[in-house]
Each structure stands twice: as C-alpha cells, then as structure tokens.
Amino acid sequence: MNKLSEIGKVYIVGAGPGNPQLLTLKGQGCLTQANSVFYDALVDERILSYAPLDAQKIYVGKRGGRPSQSQEEINELMIKYAQEGHCVVRLKGGDPFVFGRGAEEGIALQNAKIPFEIVPGVSAAMGVTAAAGIPLTHRGLASAAVIVTGHEDPDKDTSDVEWPKLAKIDATLVIFMGIQKIKTICDLLIQEGKDPNTPAAVIQSGTTSTQRNVFGQLSDLSRLATDSAIKSPALIIVGPAVSIQQHLRFDIKYPLHGRRIMITRPREQAFDLAQELIDFGADVYNVPMIKLISPSDLSPIKQAISKLTTYDWLLFTSANGVIFFFKHLNSQDLDARALNNIKIVTIGPATSKAVSKFGLITDLEAKQSNQEGIVAAFESLSVTNARILFPSSDLGRSHVAEALGQRGAIVDQVVAYKNIPPTESELILPSPLKTGLMDWIIFTSPSTIQNMFKIVPQDLRKKIFATANIACMGPTTGETAITHGLTVDVVPQNHKPHSLVQSLCNFESSK
C-alpha cells in the first residue's frame, strides 16, 4: 500500500479542461501511486487508466441537478480512506481552485489532520479559450480577464456576482456554468451598459474532439447558442478579444479529425501508434485486450538460456518475445553479451526495433510480417543441423518451427510469456465503445480479437461491430478477424505504426 505513514495522503488533482493529454505530469504521477481515486463527472475516463489496475475508482460527480453525493459525504470518504492509510487522489475537472470546491476539501482535510497536497490543473478558463483561438488578454483589446460563475440566478435580490460592475469593466469575461441562464445573463449585461455589439462566444466541450464553437455578438449570442443546441459543459466568453479568434484558430481538419479510435494492445506498447493517430486528429482510446505475464513454469526458458552457446540463431516473431526473452536473460545475470555468437532473425521492422533497444542488430528480417515470411527469408540459406531458439508466447504458432524442421533445422520453441485476457476489473470500456460510437477498432494481434470475443458480451459486440470500422496490424491478424465474422477495412503492408496510420488516413480521405 502506497503511504508515507500509518495515515495516508490526499492529492487534490486538477485533471484539466477535457482533453486527457492536458493532464499535468504531476497529476499523472499522483495517479500512478493511488490506492483510491475519487473522480468528477467532467473527468475524461481515460485519465483513470494511469491509476493502478487494483486501485479503487469511485465516481462522485455532480451533473445537472441529478442525484449525487453531497460535498460533505465526499469529504468524509476522503478522510476515511486516508485514515486507513490509502494514497487518495481526488480528481477534479479543470483546476481544483477555480469553481472546483478544492479549497473546501482542503480545509476539511486540514481540520481532520490529514496530509494533503493541491496539484494545479489547466483551468477551462485558459484551456478552452485557447482551444477556440480566444486570448484572454491582448494588447489594445483586453488588459484584464474576469472569471465568474453563471450558476447563480442573476435576477435574485442578492447576488455574490456584481453584474452591473462586470458590464462596465474593460475586461474579457469568462462565465462558467451559465449556459442554462445565457439569455438572462446577456440581457442583464446589455441592460447594465455593455455594448450589444461586443464580440462574444460560447464553447461547448472545449479542448475535446467534440468541441463546438458559436461566435457572434452579445445581443444575438443566446439565440445562436439555442439554434446550435449548445449544451453543458460550456463557457461563455464576452469581450473585444473574441474578435480576433478567426486569426488564431488552429483546429485544422486533419484526415482523422474527431474519429474515435480504439487500440487493443497494452498502453506501453501502443504509445507510438497512439501519438501518431492523435497527431492526425484522432481521439484515441487505449483498451488493452491482452495481458502479458511470465509463464508459471520457467524451467524451459531457463534451460534454453543455459545452453545459449549451442544455438546458431535466435528467432523473434514479436516485440513482446524480445522483451520477455531479455527479462529472463537478465534474471540469469546475463545480458546482450551472451548473444555474441548468435545471429538474430525477426518477423519485421517493429520487432527489429525492439531488438535494437537492447543494443543488437538484426541479421535477417522477414519481408512478409508473418511466420511464412520468416520461412521465406531462410530460403537462400542452408539450415541443415542449424540450431534455432524460438522464444514465443504460449499461443504462438508452430508453423516456422515445423517448416524449418523439415529442412533439417533443430528448432526449440519455448514459452517466454503467456498471453491472457484482462480480468473484468482490469477492463475499462470507454463510453463511446459501450454506446456504439467508436469509429475504428485497431486489432494488433490475433489474441486481441480472440480475447475481445471472450470478454465482451455478445449483445455489446453486435452494437460495437455494427458501426465500427476494423483495422488489423498484419495479415495474420486480419485473417483471424475474418474467421470471427468481422469485415476488415484496413490492413497495412507492414507492421509499422506509420503504415497503419497512413492506411487509415487514406481510407477516411476516400470516403
């Protein structure tokens, strides 16, 4: 259990304005240490994946007057879990101290003598306006910005918001939680002296792939927002600085703009692919459909490593095979120097890249990224009596071992890792997947398909596959998808993430 003492600690963390990439590094670091996470409604659920799989994720959000836990109940829960020694992360949208009630929670923790820390986040006031190309301040247009709540009823007799003064102040107004009262707010500002022609905007779901922008003048902003069916969460921005947004818009419509794409491989292995998809405008969801662990019986791989000097070739058919082989090698107090007399053959460029990370160069690389490609790569070489070590998964195909064995090679295929489905508690299905709104699902290996059919209920699978396009990393994975009754839309020529992304872009551009 992660704790500094018998009493745990609470981190009140700002999750940012919506886009999960805007979570701070400090916030991410806190999540990786958490035993318990209390999160709000506006927190993107993908951020929860940074917390350990066994961490408790407890929803305490409040939305639109729906039944929810009171602030006092949330405070009591945090205190209770911290007193039990938990590392608690209180995850809040935006910044905890900007209409986030973070100060109230901090005071409650202080009174209970619970150690706590405030981790700032990117406030919607800064993040959402920037995403819409609206500067809060700009020389000659606005030298100040005022952040105010629109949740109060502007017509009530007493108000903490002095709308008459705000109407006269020369500043950019950023109004939180005001969409339900937008007409009243706009009318009151004009009534109190604000120029009806003042540039104004409403931004819904800012910084996310579903961001919607409405620009106009203060006098017609309410009508424009209603006509566009703008809903919460949304910010209202009023002031001359809104007028230059057309010169600062950077939401270029990339080929994958707004496309929701799910990757099924483990997060640490999906980073390059995910980042490139994001660079082309995609909204990426990482939902690992496989879990890789060492085999319970390590004697076969240990025995193979003990006689490394007897092998001529070391064969890898995946980056995972490389990673686990070197893990077992290191566990025997050995490193890459133990392979100085062995040649290395790989299934393709991604696997060769994994080999290079251990300071080694691939001697032979298959041109076709499957086991048949490896067999073809050996065609011009004599393998009679050649000894080949093949570390694979427990689900690894034996085609290459059989084919090379028929040519006189001695192939020792040993299990280096097991490929198992994630447990139900480890599998976090994102909302777009559960509601049938995922545009693409990328399968990176046959087992990601097999496991999805094992884990995800049939009725949900039907909803998912009725609307989602399917992309497969390599022909073997594509064939597995077809045998499961799926229509495969994209299979790149090789296993490089860039090739897959380009194939997706070409597909979308041709629609």
78 given a catalytic annotation: no
* Whole-angstrom distance, CA of residue 373 vs CA of residue 385: 21
Per residue in 203-212, is it b (16+ CB within 10 Å) or e — as a string? bbbbbbbebb
Residue type, 416: A
Q: Please answer whether residues 55 and 39 qualify as being in contact, where contact means their C-beta atoms are separated by less than 8 angstroms.
A: no
CA distance linking residue 4 with residue 30, whole number of Å = 13
C-alpha 261/C-alpha 187 separation (Å) is 42
Active-site residue, from 3, 126, 177, 220: 177
- What does the alpha-carbon distance between residue 160 and residue 487 come to, in Å, rounded to a whole number? 58
Active-site residue, from 3, 26, 57, 62: 62
3-state secondary structure of 175: strand
Cα–Cα distance, 490 to 474 (Å, whole number): 9
- The CA distance from 396 to 413, in Å, is 9
For this structure, is 227 an active site residue?
no
Q: How many CB atoms lie within 10 A of CB 406?
A: 10
The verdict on whether 62 is a catalytic residue reads yes
d(C-alpha 381, C-alpha 458), whole Å = 48
d(CA 273, CA 267): 10
Out of 9, 40, 283, 439, which one is annotated catalytic? 40
SS3 464: helix
Angle formed at CA 502 by CA 509 and CA 17, multiple of 5 degrees: 80
Q: Count the helix, strand and coil residues of the chain and give each as a percent rounded to the nearest 5.
A: 40, 20, 40
Active site residues: 40, 62, 177
